[in-house]
Each structure stands twice: as C-alpha cells, then as structure tokens.
C-alpha cells in the first residue's frame, strides 16, 4: 500500500494515472451501486483498492480536471445503428462542403436541410407572465391551459442561410410536399440545375417511395437520406434549437394563431441576421469517430 496524505507532491505519477483510469470506468465494474462517481466517491474507491492510504476528493477532482475528466457528468446519445452509417453520413458531410461524388458543386446547385418540429403546444398560463423587474427575474405561472398543437416545417439553405418555414396542423406527406413546393417554386431553386434535399427517415419522406414522389414532380431535386438516428447531422436541427430557446421557452401563447404568428415572425427576423452555420465536422472527423467506436461496437454486438 502506498502512502499519501493528500498533498499532490507526495503522490508519484503512477498514482495519478491509476486514479484517472478508475475515473474512466463505470461504477458497476467495481460492484458499486452507483450510476456515476463523484470525486469523493472516487477517493473512497482509491483507498479501498489500496492505491493509497488516504486521499481527499479535492485532490482527485484537481487531477481529473487536468484532463477534463468528469465522471459525475453524463450526456445522452444514440449509438450508430445504420450498417451503412459511415457512407451515408459522408455524403451529407461532403454536401456541407459543396462536394458531390468527389466533384465541387456548381454555382447553380443548392443544398437544403429540411425537417419538421412536431406537436408544438400552445400553452396559455393561468395567470399572466410578469416581466423582469429590478432584482427579480421574469415570473411564469406554472399552471397552464392547453390550446392545441401544430407542426412547424422548415427548410434551411445550408450555404445561403435562407430559411423557409410553414405551420401545419400535422405532419405527413402532404404537409412536407407543400414545404417542398414553397421552396422549389421560388428562385433560384426554380431554375437550379440541382437542389439537394437532406432529410431524415421520418414517415413524411422515408425510403425509395419518397425519392420517386419528389423527383417525379421536381426533376432537379436530389433527395439525400441521413443514416438512421442521425438527426445531429441535419443542420436544420440547429435552427430548431434556436427556435426552442428564443420562441418556445417559456411557452406562453394566447392561442394557436398567436403561436403561428410568433414562429413566422421570428423566421423573418432571424433571416435578416442569419449566416451559414460554421460546420466543422468533416469526413476525417467521421472516420476518427467510427474508429473510436469499434471497441464499443463489438460489445454492442455481444449484448445484442
């Protein structure tokens, strides 16, 4: 058993390495009934395993912070399940950098990222919202009355920062087709050589049937489907996150009409200041990500 009194100068480098290695494991691997480690719990585990006789949670925290290791935090994610994930994702990433089949896009070719934000509720608060005052934050009544819901459809021109949006009673093929017509009947898309539409695998635009349906009416459209469960690759989702923060939080509307008016008004204002998103995730980053996931892929296959 190594000695240590909490002073980092008394701990050899090997101890620091072992502590960081412990922090990168799940608590269940050490028969601990925990979902996550705190720094204090890690310090206790270090002494239990005989790595040192004594160490403080503060010292453990300081060591972990050097490498930005935070076992007390977590984030949700979806493991890539599409067997063709890398190829499909690579096509989308190329389009974001204006490349198709290894060739740069022409000036009259455009890339659209489209999706729908479903079931947006209009909630009227039982008591009126009180605006911010000196020393007091805005106060929003917890209780509310539901006034219905609508769907917000949006198409984002990746390179021109142009947004097309519309509100519908519900999602579906007809609603999505109206969005497509809204875009494709406007210039420069109406006269474009090709317009690439990046969409997910939702029921409104899923599979080969959607490709036939779209290209039959709009021959210049090139539908590009994302891999399954890869909405994070769809740039319009970034715009939806802005909508969520700027318009829908807190949710306080007098009617569905008020909700629709606010969404479309924000859309017009946003477009005046919008710039293309600085998309930095490339094919090289994708390849590195897939390579790093390989050990976990084997584990998932065994669990399946």
Q: Which pLDDT tens digit goes with each residue over 188-239?
A: 999 999 999 999 998 889 889 999 999 999 999 999 999 998 889 999 999 9
So what's the pLDDT on residue 206?
86
Tokens (6 digits) for 291: 């390579």
pTM of the model: 0.82
pLDDT band at 301 (very low <50, low <70, confident <90, very high): very low
Portion of the chain with pLDDT greater than 70, in percent: 94
Distances (CA, A) of 140 to 128, 191, 246, 256: 8, 48, 15, 19
Long-range Cβ pairs for the range 33-36 (8 Å, 24+):
36/71, 36/72, 36/73, 36/74
Paired sense of beta strands 194-199 and 109-125, if any: parallel
CATH number corresponding to 86-128+143-273: 3.30.420.10
Report whether pLDDT(297) > 70.
no
So what's the pLDDT on residue 303?
46
Q: Which pLDDT tens digit goes with each residue over 168-179?
A: 999 999 999 999
Q: What is the mean pLDDT of residues 134-152?
A: 94
Average confidence score pLDDT of the chain: 92
Give the C-alpha separation, 62 to 143, whole Å.
Answer: 43
Is the CB of residue 63 less than 8 Å from the CB of residue 22? no
So what's the pLDDT on residue 238?
97
Concatenate the DSSP letters of all residues of 90-107 into one string. HHHHHHHTTEETTEEPPT
E strand intervals along 44-102: 99-100
Report whether pLDDT(6) > 60.
no
Report whether pLDDT(84) > 50.
yes
pLDDT band at 19 (very low <50, low <70, confident <90, very high): very high
Q: What is the mean pLDDT of residues 71-88?
A: 87
pLDDT band at 2 (very low <50, low <70, confident <90, very high): very low
Q: What is the mean pLDDT of residues 106-132?
A: 95
Report whether pLDDT(5) > 50.
no
């Amino acid at each position: 058993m190594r000695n240590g009194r909490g002073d980092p100068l008394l701990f050899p480098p090997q101890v620091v390495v072992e502590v960081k290695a412990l922090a990168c494991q799940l608590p269940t691997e050490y028969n601990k009934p925990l979902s996550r480690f705190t720094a204090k719990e890690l310090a206790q585990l270090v002494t239990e395993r005989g790595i040192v006789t004594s160490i403080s949670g503060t010292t453990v925290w300081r060591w972990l912070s050097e490498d930005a290791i935070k076992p007390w935090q977590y984030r949700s994610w979806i493991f890539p399940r599409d067997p063709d994930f890398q190829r499909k994702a690579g096509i989308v990433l190329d389009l974001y950098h204006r490349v198709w089949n290894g060739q740069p896009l022409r000036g009259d070719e455009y890339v659209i990222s489209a999706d729908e934000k479903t079931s947006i509720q209009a909630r009227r608060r039982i008591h009126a919202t009180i605006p911010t005052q000196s020393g007091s934050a805005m106060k929003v009544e917890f209780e509310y009355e539901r006034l219905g819901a609508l769907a917000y459809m949006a198409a984002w021109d990746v390179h021109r920062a142009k947004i097309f949006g519309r509100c519908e009673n519900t999602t579906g093929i007809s609603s999505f087709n109206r969005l497509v017509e809204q875009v494709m009947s406007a210039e420069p898309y109406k006269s474009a050589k090709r317009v690439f539409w990046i969409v997910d695998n939702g029921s409104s635009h899923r599979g080969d049937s959607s490709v036939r349906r779209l290209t039959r009416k709009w021959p210049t459209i090139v539908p590009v489907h994302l891999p399954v469960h890869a909405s994070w690759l769809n740039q319009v989702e970034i715009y939806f996150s802005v909508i969520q923060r700027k318009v829908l939080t807190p949710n306080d509307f007098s009617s569905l009409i008020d909700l629709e008016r606010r969404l479309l008004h924000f859309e017009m204002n946003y477009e005046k200041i919008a710039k293309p998103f600085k998309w930095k995730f490339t094919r090289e980053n994708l390849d590195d990500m897939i390579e790093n996931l390989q050990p976990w892929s084997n584990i998932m296959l065994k669990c399946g």
